[in-house]
Amino acid sequence: MQQGYLVMRLKGKNALITGGNSGIGLATAKRFVEEGARVLITGRDEKTLAFAESSLGSSAISIRADVVDADARARVIAAAKENFGNLDIVFANAGIAKSTTSSIVDTPEDIYDEVLKTNVTAVFLTVQGALPLLRDRASIILNSSVAANAGFPGSGAYPASKAAVKAMAHSLASELAPRRIRVNCVVPGVIRTPVWNRGRSPEQGEARVKQMLKKVPFGEIGEAEDVANAVLFLASDESRYITSTEITIDGLRIARCDLKVTPHCLLGSRATLIRRQPKRNVSGARSSSAGYRFDHHSDTTTNKWTAFMKAFESRPPGAGAIE
């Protein structure tokens, strides 16, 4: 390859990005255009949509559409067909993080339904509508969240919706495999986007960021571009043999949640993965309930983990990793 030769990773490809008027969607649209793609973005807010289209240049068009509206989705697909003829990439990014911070008994049914309709049903129907335009070996990327694994109390709808997106990706990937259409997920953690200040004052938004920082071992907030770069990889031919998988962009946020349950990174040589022997039932037959367990041998691992967590929880925001 000649020095200075620029390879455009999406040259000649056509992409649809829902919710492409701000945040992760807009950052992804910019990366796609930079890499040679033509992009159709959607959004509900006319002002931000117009700004996004102007910032993307002549390689992008925009359609004002709410993904939960069937007629609006039909207009989007019709526009893609008219302008592009076919699609190589679908990034089903549009979603809402509507507050459901009340307890289980106090969560309104209409709010729960709205979140699932936007984050799950509309994602499926967007893919369904785009399918006739998708060329073989196309790429579909869905946007999930670390909330699907974190188990935050008082937030039932949003995590449920993002967990459903992960399950959906696996199912879609299996069904579309004969056409070599890849379906994958990005799983963002704490990412700086306009949603942080939506419905909050700047001071409240900043306070929330500081609170969330305490749960990120990297000690810094991710940017929309960090997620966009992962989406770009999954959209490109560099990931041609990758499907039904997830890329987590979270500064170890998921591990921070999961390690409280099973601190694999701190088990060290004093822990052993032991095969559980199947038990015999009353008739003497061997049970199929064999599995694995961690044998810690002593309290050393527990003490190490407890000390780490105490140091981590007392760390000031932005202090970085625990040595």
> Catalytic residues, which ones?
158
Q: Do residues 65 and 73 lie in contact, with contact meaning Cβ atoms separated by under 8 Å?
A: yes
- Chain-centre distance of CA 224, in angstroms? 11
**CA pair distance 262, 260, nearest whole angstrom:** 6
Mark out the alpha helices in the chain (DSSP H runs). 23-34, 46-56, 70-83, 109-116, 122-130, 147-150, 157-176, 202-213, 224-235, 253-258, 300-313
Torsion of CA 320, 234, 97, 52, to 10 degrees: 100
Q: Is 222 helix (H, G, I), strand (E, B) or coil?
A: strand
Axis crossing angle, helix 70-83 with helix 122-130, rounded to the nearest 10: 30
Q: What angle do CA 134, 61, 20 make, to 5 degrees?
A: 80
Among 306, 253, 255, 13, smallest CA distance to 139 is for 13
**CA pair distance 57, 36, nearest whole angstrom:** 12
